[in-house]
Amino acid sequence: METDPLHFDDGELEALCERAAVVLARTGAGARETTDARVREVPDGRTVRYYQSSGLLDRPARYEGRRAIYGRRHLLQMVCVKLLQARGLSLAQVQQALAGATTAQLEAAVREAFAAVAAVPAPAHPISPPLRPRPTPAGDAWFARELAPGVLVTVDPRRHPDPDSLMRRLAAALAVPVPSTPTGESR
Amino acid sequence: MTAVALPCPCVPTLCPPPSETPKDHPGLGGLVALATGKALPLREVKVRTEIVGHCARTVVEQRFGNDLHEPVEAVHIFPLPPAGAVVEMELHAGDVVVVAECREREEAEQTFQAARAAGHRAALLTQERADVHTLRVTRIPPGAEIKVRLVVIQSLEAQDGLFRWRFPTVVAPRYHSGSPVGHDGPGVDADTDRVPDASRISPPIRLAGGTRLDLEVSIAGPVSEVSASSHAVAFKMAGGLVRVAPSVKATLDRDFVLAFGLADATEPALRAYTDGTCTLAVACAPRDRVPAAMPRDAVFVVDISGSMEGEKMVAAKAALTAALHGLMPGDRFRVIAFDDRLEHFRPDFVEYGEASLAAADAWVARLAPRGGTEMLPAIVAALSGATPGGRLRTVLFVTDGQASNESELVAAVSNRRGAARFFTLGIDTAVNEALMARLARVGGGVCEIATPKDDIEETVARLESRFGLPLVDGLRIENADAARPEPAVLFAGRPAALLVAGAPAKIVARGQGATGEYVAEAEPVRVDFPLGALWARERVAYLEDRLVLKPLETEALRPEILRLGLAHHLATRWTAFVAVESQRTVDGALTEIVQPVELPEGWSESFRGGGGFGNAATTGAGFVGGAPPPPPAPSPVLMRAAPMMPPSVAAPMGRASGAPGGPPPPSPAPSPKGGLLDKARSLAKKALAPRREAERFDDADESDDLAMPMMADLGGDGFAESGAFAPPAEAEPMALDREAKEAEEAVGHARTRAGVAPTPAAVAAELAKTQKADGSFGGDALRTAAALLALVLQGHTRRAGARSRVVLKAATFLDAHRALEGVALALRALEAAERGETPVAEAAWETLRTAGTEGMLLRVVESGLGR
């Protein structure tokens, strides 16, 4: 049973960024629209600062001591900035677009992006190019898989004998499609 | 809190591939359409100022629009002149005009909220700081506009013979000390434990484009000279008025700075104006007085925070070097640089001398901008330690003033200075004048403001002539209720404006001068200007200082400020203007938009990401330290129109350069056509969709020929397209001696500085820079005499002129060499000038004209003066 990925109870900045990354993965932002890494990256702390100083992100919902607490609207704003950038808009244009955008508009935008991903037939080839095994100090190859665009998960097969099942469980938890097994995957 | 460790993704993608325009991807819930089809609410700011004598009245009109399908509430955080008083507000909605009422702030806010809830169009003006205001305009109907008109009054004083009027257009990013504690206001930075109103004074930063500024100033003549240092301007004379306006499109990205002289330059010791209720008295220090000489313990403090990056840092270092060279034998000095740490040139004061000066110069040259703007420790350090008897502690504080903990700083200067004199030099395109002026006022010194494009050495030279004790201290108006009960001071070239209640037939000012009592009298002239409101504004400023210094008196001071605000219809911290148009209702879900404002011209792009100060408190996001994010990739959209901002040329140089053989005349303001602006536009057109055009100027017509009404009839007599308007100056080409290479070099320096031609003023600047610590030039008596004579011929003496310090030092050095004929000649000329006579050229001056570089410069001055 999938939970609403746009559900975000008040949380600190770190949680907000993590959730935004998950939502963005689900929209596939960037993967089809642009190859620009800067656009594809999920937001981090400095990005948030940039967004705040230019008003792309509302002021925090409240403060708990010195901690700023963010809510669902912040999540939607953050995701929409990335979605608009992925559509080739400059941040200056994004600023215009988001000035005065209602929460309903923001949510509609994200839902539309979800729907667009769902409508795209499953890719004939894996989302990510085959990954080369990554040597560890011990010399063993780790299992690596791009769980969602821009999200790379690596697993030590010595400690998790069934990495594929682990991936499926992770995908379910994050509400993203299960990544297909890249060909030529080294175990 | 840990930041996700990813490469910094915050660099905006400003140049999408041309093939992929947003039109190819409609949708995203309509957001994409919003990005391209609408403008931000603030469409234009129109400013009309009338200056008559010492009084200025400004009408500011802010026009807001709404391109959404629902009603909008626009919020604009903006600056006004800090000494100005907002006395009127009107709401213009369609053809309805509503005059705003001045109410207690809470009550005004409630009225506004009720109007908003009822669907009525309304406007609310609140004052956050002496300079920072917030305008809220609610229920702007879709597709409609609302204008808000403000009237601001202020008084002006001449500084060194020139009136200066500065109109701020943008609140620059300010550094907030302390830790985030909340976020009450509409701005983008968190309130901190030390700056509880940070969120009210921090507008969002605009990522591209700007709002058009339509500004025109009219000055009642006769005006002797006019110049604007931060805009290319055009002038027009009509009906005894000089009208000045930017000659190319201007936006809200820097202060408009106007300097003008009135032909009636005789400043009487006291001048008074009255409107029948209150009296404005302008007291002027007598020209022939010299402040008491006292060896100084001079502290130089320079801001090396991130916001100083670029030309500001260059200017601040030049200022510091010039000020160091202005010290006198017998003085001691120390230099402190600060960002969020303190750097000391030496742990304590050092004696002023050739070696310490050279070491300090080298130390200053190495300074580079870094982090946050923690001013408090720097102020504490500058005022710490005892000053030995018989010495005067002076502080020169060089900064852009972009820190928000104003109260703490004012209290620190006031409580710690003792007998010290605290001077401020503010350098920025959008300087925090409110803070700089207030620190100097409580510090018993004076404030000097410069833009980075000003001749900074000239500015310091002006400041230098005051850098010590005032000419008159304890100045009061007799038997009058002064807005500011504490006595005023008079420094050379800096008159004091005193506002008193009532309209007595005669005004008498008394103070203590260095050599006895100072008394001046004047009969007030009747003027049609609301001096009562100005008096109340000044009294409120005084009470605001008390609030900072005596926080325990808040309970007693609040009702007094409130009473003054309500009685005089003034915006204060506790009174606000509210206007409601209740005839019509505008239904629909209301959307609030906080107007993003431009990054001030010349500021580092890293501030566009909020990272310029590299500090936690500026964002409230809880990030501490770290390098600022890299600036966004250069893009046509972000390119600034360079031709908009040639620094104007100081007035007297305007005509001097047409001389045959001289350098080419200053070019008129470059036309936007074919210039960088044009280039930027064509680039933008090529790289991006045509709609981008509109981003540069909201709602601006697309014509490159600016439809400035007053430009239409330019061309008659008395016009100058750019630079300065001035009466024709008698200037002759100067004959440069081919043999004197060294001199040519010095002249070359002078020429570079002036930008046009080696003028006497530039020569004076060059001399000030090359003078040795002992007052000599090259340690040579004759060369020093030549330099002295060059300065005397320009009207600089030990008592008058911006270079009085250089003259004094040179004359002191020469005193021991009177036996030399050349030296005796120069000293005689100086003494004659000090008696008010014009030195007459003597044949024997020829000895000086051949005395090295300085002799060369003397000839430049002589030919420049047409002798």
Pair B430, B253: CB distance under 8 Å: yes
Q: How far is A59 from chain B (nearest CA, A)?
A: 6
pLDDT at position B308 is 94
Q: What is the DSSP letter of B698?
A: T
CA distance B56 to B49: 7
- Counting every residue written for chain A, the total comes to 187
Select the residue of A45, A55, A107 nearest B623 (Cβ to Cβ): A45
CA distance B268 to B521: 10
Q: Which residues pair with B512 in a beta bridge?
A: B473, B517
Per the structure block, which two tokens stand in for B863? 């030919």
| Of B57, B38, B20, nearest in space to B529 by CA | B57
CA distance B51 to B221: 9
- Lay out the sheet containing A134-135: strands in order across: A134-135, A141-148, A151-155
Per the structure block, which two tokens stand in for B785? 């005499």
**Which CATH number is B296-468 given?**
3.40.50.410
Mean pLDDT per 10-residue segment, chain B (867 residues): 34 34 54 76 97 94 94 97 96 95 97 97 97 97 96 92 94 95 94 96 94 96 88 89 93 95 80 94 80 89 94 94 90 96 95 94 95 95 94 96 96 96 96 96 95 86 85 91 93 92 94 88 94 96 94 92 96 96 93 95 82 51 33 31 32 32 36 37 38 38 34 34 38 36 50 52 84 91 94 87 86 92 92 86 85 90 75
Q: What is the DSSP letter of B576?
A: E
**DSSP, residue by residue, B665-687:** PPPPPPPSTTSHHHHHHHHHHHH
Pair B123, B89: CB distance under 8 Å: yes
How many contacts, defined by CB atoms under 8 Å, are there between A and B?
236
Q: Please write the tens of the pLDDT for every residue from B365-392.
A: 999 999 999 999 999 999 999 999 999 9
Among chain A residues, the shortest Cα distance to B691 is held by A93
Domain boundaries defined on chain A: 13-119, 123-187
CA distance B674 to B643: 10
Contacts of A71 in chain B (CB under 8 A): none
Chain B contact probe: residue of A16, A87, A111 with most B CBs at under 10 A: A87
- For residue A72, the surrounding DSSP H or E stretch is helix A72-86
3-state DSSP assignment of residue B845: helix
Chain B contact probe: residue of A50, A84, A106, A152 with most B CBs at under 10 A: A50
| Of B321, B347, B489, B499, nearest in space to B421 by CA | B489
Burial (CB count <10 Å: 0-12, 13-18, 19+), residue A23: buried
CA distance B214 to B246: 8
Q: Please write the tens of the pLDDT for every residue from B173-226.
A: 999 999 999 999 999 999 999 999 999 999 999 998 999 999 999 999 788 889
Please write down the long-range contacts of A165-172, taking CB distance under 8 Å and 24 or more positions apart: A171/A147
ipTM computed for the complex:
0.74
Beta carbons of A100 and B596 less than 8 Å apart: no
Beta carbons of B11 and A68 less than 8 Å apart: no
Among chain B residues, the shortest Cα distance to A57 is held by B188
Q: How far is B9 from chain A (nearest CA, A)?
A: 5
State mean pLDDT over A127-148.
53
Q: Which residue has the tokens 């001691």?
A: B332
Contacts of A112 in chain B (CB under 8 A): 27-29
A21 contacts: CB under 8 Å, gap ≥ 6: A42, A43, A150, A151, B4
Q: Which residues pair with B149 in a beta bridge?
A: B61, B90
| Of B410, B439, B392, B405, nearest in space to B547 by CA | B410
Tell me, rounded to whole angstroms, the distance of Cα B828 from its chain centroid. Answer: 40
More confident of the two residues A133 and B76: B76
CA distance B31 to B62: 27
- For residue B668, is the peptide bond before it cis, meaning its omega torsion is within 30 degrees of 0? no
Q: How far is A185 from chain B (nearest CA, A)?
A: 26
Chain A contact probe: residue of B4, B8, B189 with most A CBs at under 10 A: B4
| Of B99, B98, B90, B95, nearest in space to B62 by CA | B90
CA distance A44 to A36: 17
CA distance B133 to B154: 16
Interfacial A residues in 79-118 facing B (CB < 8 Å): 80, 83-85, 87-102, 105-113
Q: Quick check: A24 contacting B, CB < 8 Å?
A: no
Query: Band of the pLDDT at A152, cuts 50, 70, 90?
Result: low
Q: What is the DSSP letter of B530?
A: -
b or e along B606-626 (b: 16 or more beta carbons within 10 Å of the residue's beta carbon)?
A: bbbbbbbbbbbbbbbbbbeee
- For residue A173, the surrounding DSSP H or E stretch is helix A163-174
**DSSP, residue by residue, B443-503:** TEEEEEEE-TTS-HHHHHHHHHTTSSS-SEEEEEETTS-BSS-SPEEEBTTB-EEEEEES-
Q: Which amino acid is at B608?
A: R
Beta carbons of B591 and A45 less than 8 Å apart: no
Measured between its terminal Cα atoms, the distance across chain B in Å is 73
Beta carbons of A106 and B31 less than 8 Å apart: yes
Q: What is the pTM of this model?
A: 0.79
CA distance A75 to B303: 38
Domain boundaries defined on chain B: 265-287+474-553, 296-468, 741-864
Beta carbons of A92 and B14 less than 8 Å apart: yes
Q: What is the DSSP letter of B844?
A: G
Pair A149, A31: CB distance under 8 Å: yes
Pair B532, B564: CB distance under 8 Å: no
Q: Which residue has the tokens 């045509």?
A: B690
Q: Which residues pair with A152 in a beta bridge?
A: A146
Q: How far is A186 from chain B (nearest CA, A)?
A: 26
Q: How far is B508 from chain A (nearest CA, A)?
A: 52
b or e along A150-169 (b: 16 or more beta carbons within 10 Å of the residue's beta carbon)?
A: bbebebeeeeeeebeebbee
Per the structure block, which two tokens stand in for B748? 């070359």
- HEC profile of B294-363: CCEEEEEEEECCHHHCCHHHHHHHHHHHHHHHCCCCCCEEEEEEECCCEEECCCCCEECCHHHHHHHHHH
Interfacial A residues in 111-150 facing B (CB < 8 Å): 111-113
Per the structure block, which two tokens stand in for B437? 């002026």
Q: What is the DSSP letter of B645?
A: -
Contacts of B11 in chain A (CB under 8 A): 38
Per the structure block, which two tokens stand in for B851? 């005395």
Pair B401, B433: CB distance under 8 Å: yes
CA distance B768 to B857: 12
Beta carbons of A63 and B591 less than 8 Å apart: no
> How many CB atoms neighbour CB B840 within 10 A?
8
Per the structure block, which two tokens stand in for B250? 């201007």
Among chain A residues, the shortest Cα distance to B605 is held by A50
